[in-house]
């Protein structure tokens, strides 16, 4: 199902160019990663990464969805700039809390800041406010581990009923109807969800609520609300449980769907089921609308797209930072790191790690905003 890694970088950069030509409607203007020696600083450009006066270390926390992307970025950035970046992928909720408590230089979240969180950020951002900078995109997969089944198609309705404890066996008639010719076992479904507050949960449930509200009658949000199922912490925790449990299914990012876990395709109403790939996620993200104002670039995703080859169960991870009032001792390193990950080179790293780049029209504005941070 996955494209070979050697082709992903080229395809990702091509996706950036293609998505830049698409119209984006503007409605407004787990583990710690230690990145080597923290003593170096540079005012010169090392390779294509501009280090400026970056030095010391950065503490950051938040989205576990982007943890694998952050790890890849930190490896490259630290090697050239000598700045240590400790990113704890504790979940989007924990990241926003840490940011608004002044404990981290930036946070990662798979959901944009809520109005009350923006208000709280003003106490930390002296003379400014917290803003959302979209940096990582990608598909949320329904990853399963069912012995003897290596290909599966689901839709919003069946997913909603599975995670709402209404479909409880793998040979249920609703699943069989979507998978003619597939021998489904008489096996209990073990559904796993996040135990921590998570932007992945927020986006996953937004998709279910948008497309199967009657079968998933909840408000949604970062905290899991449906009854039944089992829980685990972080995307890696959910993936690990699925990997170890025959009959299991969970939701997490594509980069976690490996080593015995297979990602289900989605029947969206398009001419054929859509696979969970970087390219298909990019097609769906390109339909997003900018709903943030000023320097905030929060997006509204189109979960209901029926375009051929567009995978709608996606998320966008934002880096949350102060537009003004950043701490003087961490501002140079924060800007240098954000500048790198928003660059063409930084975005090009994403496809190699099963993530999707942000459409060109948006990432160009993000780059301008990063240079204005103070």
> What's the CA angle centered on 269, arms 263 and 271, to 5 degrees?
90
308 contacts: CB under 8 Å, gap ≥ 6: 270, 271, 272, 274
* CA distance linking residue 56 with residue 83, whole number of Å: 6
Q: Radius of gyration over alpha carbons of the chain, in Å? A: 20
- Nearest alpha-carbon partner for 182 in 145, 155, 158, 150: 150
Q: Using one digit for the tens of pLDDT, what is the confidence trace for 94-116? A: 999 999 999 999 999 999 999 99
Percent residues over pLDDT 90 in the chain: 85
Looking at residue 52, its pLDDT comes to 85
> Which DSSP string do the residues of 181-231 spell out, in sequence order?
T----S-B-EEEEESS--HHHHHHHHHHHHH-GGGS-S---SS--SSSSEE
**Angle at CA 205, nearest 5°, toward 177 and 90?**
125
Residue 45 in this model has a pLDDT that exceeds 60: no
Q: Residue 48: pLDDT band by 50, 70, 90 thresholds?
A: confident
Asked whether 374 and 331 are in contact (CB, 8 A), the reply is yes
Task: For residues 297 and 318, give the distance between their C-alpha atoms in angstroms, rounded to a whole number.
Answer: 9
- As beta bridge partners, residue 252 has 141
For the stretch 193-230, pLDDT in tens is 999 999 999 999 999 999 999 999 999 999 999 989 99
Q: Is 150's pLDDT higher than 60?
A: yes
Instruction: From residue 52, give the alpha-carbon distance in Å to each of 48, 69, 332.
Output: 12, 23, 7
Residue carrying structure tokens 């993200």: 285
So what's the pLDDT on residue 35? Answer: 37
Summarize pLDDT for 265-309 with one digit per residue, the tens. Answer: 999 999 999 999 999 999 999 999 999 999 999 999 999 999 999
* pLDDT given for residue 200 in this prediction: 94
What's the whole-model pTM score? Answer: 0.80
pLDDT confidence tier of residue 34, bands split at 50, 70 and 90: very low
Residue 159 parent element (H or E): helix 156-163
pLDDT of residue 59: 97
Residue among 272, 259, 258, 261 nearest 354 (CA): 258
For 314-347, b/e burial (b = at least 16 CB within 10 A) is bbbbbbbbbbebbeeebbbbbbbbbbbbbbeebb
Contact 262, 152 (CB under 8 A): yes
Q: Distance of CA 92 to CAs 58, 190, 224, Å?
A: 18, 25, 13
- CA-CA distance, 233 to 198, in Å (whole number)? 9
Q: What's the pLDDT score for residue 325?
A: 97
Q: Which band of pLDDT confidence, cut at 50, 70 and 90, is reported for residue 14?
A: very low
Q: What DSSP character marks residue 26?
A: B
Does the structure show a pLDDT above 90 at 168? Answer: yes
Cα gap 155→197, rounded to integer Å: 25
């Amino acid at each position: 199902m996955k494209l070979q890694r050697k082709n992903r970088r080229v395809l990702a950069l091509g996706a950036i160019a293609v998505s830049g030509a698409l119209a984006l409607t503007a409605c407004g203007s787990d583990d710690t990663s230690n990145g080597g020696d923290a003593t170096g600083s540079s005012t010169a450009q090392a390779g294509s990464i501009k280090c400026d006066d970056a030095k010391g270390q950065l503490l950051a926390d938040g989205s576990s969805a982007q943890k694998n992307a952050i790890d890849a970025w930190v490896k490259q950035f630290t090697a050239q700039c000598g700045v240590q970046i400790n990113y704890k992928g504790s979940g989007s909720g924990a990241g926003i809390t840490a940011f608004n408590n002044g404990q981290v230089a930036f946070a990662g979240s798979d959901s944009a800041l809520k109005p009350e969180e923006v208000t709280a950020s003003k106490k930390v951002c002296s003379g400014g406010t917290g803003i959302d900078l979209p940096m990582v995109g990608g598909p949320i997969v329904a990853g399963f581990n069912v012995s003897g089944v290596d290909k599966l198609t689901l839709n919003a309705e069946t997913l909603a009923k599975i995670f709402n404890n209404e479909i409880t066996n793998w040979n249920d008639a609703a699943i069989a109807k979507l998978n003619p010719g597939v021998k489904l076992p008489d096996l209990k479904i073990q559904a796993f969800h996040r135990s921590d507050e998570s932007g992945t949960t927020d986006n996953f449930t937004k998709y279910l609520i948008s497309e199967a509200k009657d079968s998933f009658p909840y408000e949604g949000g970062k905290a899991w609300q449906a009854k039944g199922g089992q829980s685990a912490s972080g995307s890696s925790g959910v993936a690990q449980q699925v990997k170890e449990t025959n009959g299991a299914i969970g939701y997490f990012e594509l980069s976690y769907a490996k080593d015995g876990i297979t990602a289900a395709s989605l029947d969206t109403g398009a001419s054929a089921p859509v696979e969970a790939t970087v390219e298909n996620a990019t097609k769906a993200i390109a339909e997003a609308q900018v709903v943030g104002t000023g320097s905030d670039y929060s997006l509204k995703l189109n979960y209901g797209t029926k375009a051929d080859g567009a995978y709608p169960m996606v998320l966008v991870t934002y880096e949350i930072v102060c537009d003004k009032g950043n701490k003087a001792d961490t501002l140079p390193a924060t800007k240098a790191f954000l500048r790198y990950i928003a660059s063409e080179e930084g975005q090009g790293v994403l496809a190699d790690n099963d993530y999707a780049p942000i459409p060109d029209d948006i990432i160009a504005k993000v780059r301008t905003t990063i240079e204005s941070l103070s």
